Amino acid sequence: MKKIFILTGEPSGDRLASTVILKLKEKNLDIEYLSVGGYYLNSLGIKSIFDLKEITYIGFTNVLLNIFKIKNKINKAVDEIIKFNPDILFTVDSPDFTLRVAEKVKKINSNIKTIHYVAPQVWVWREGRVKKFKNFVDHFLLLFNFEKKYFDKENIKNTFVGHPLLESNILKTDISNF
């Protein structure tokens, strides 16, 4: 049996993760899941070690006021991931949370493979971060094809998977009635 730990840091990541996990579940693979997730992953029967609401803060001031709670949750996530000992740590978006956890996990157990869905937007700011990711992310799943060049340049494995909104029918909707 394979084990996957799903790590999200906000509701949108929870939703994105659930679409991937739903596809895996449809294949009837023998996989045990554990997560930091919310409504969407829970609706698939995946247990969360704590609720996303405990780490979702909007605005700089709220983050600052809750920084010690967030650090405690980072440490709890690391401890639970190490205890669960997954084959794959599947991190989704929220790089300030998920990749911080992934980096700590990799230092403790380098055998856990990390796949990150929704690459940090290095093409917008802090392009130099890409080199650092090589140390703790094994593979990136990219929303936009043009992101490949940033990761290819550093020889970091990546796959363009597309943006769910662009793949949906929403762009075909007649908006003249809005």
pLDDT score, position 123? 53
Task: Give which of 140, 175, 172 is closest to 155, Cα–Cα.
Answer: 140
pTM for the predicted model, two decimal places: 0.88
Determine the number of helices (DSSP H) and then strands (DSSP E) in the chain. 8, 7
Q: In what order do the strands lie in the sheet with 88-92?
A: 48-51, 31-37, 2-8, 88-92, 113-117, 139-142, 158-160
Q: Tell me the two tokens of residue 124.
A: 């917008």
pLDDT score, position 169? 52
**How far from chain centre, in Å, is Cα 38?**
13
Q: Which residues, other chains included, contact 102 with Cβ-Cβ below 8 Å and sequence gap of 6+?
A: 7, 89, 91, 114, 116, 136, 137
Measured between its terminal Cα atoms, the distance across the chain in Å is 49
pLDDT score, position 7? 98
User: What pairing do the DSSP bridges indicate for beta strands 158-160 and 139-142?
Assistant: parallel
Q: Which fold has domain 2-177?
A: Rossmann fold (3.40.50)
User: Per-residue confidence of the chain (178 residues) as pLDDT tens digits?
Assistant: 999 999 999 999 999 999 999 999 999 999 999 999 999 999 999 999 999 989 888 888 988 888 899 999 999 999 999 999 999 999 999 888 999 999 999 999 999 999 999 987 655 455 666 778 889 999 999 988 888 988 898 898 999 988 775 555 545 555 555 5
Burial of 116 (0-12, 13-18, 19+ CB in 10 A): buried
pLDDT score, position 121? 67
Q: What residue spans define the domains of the chain?
A: 2-177
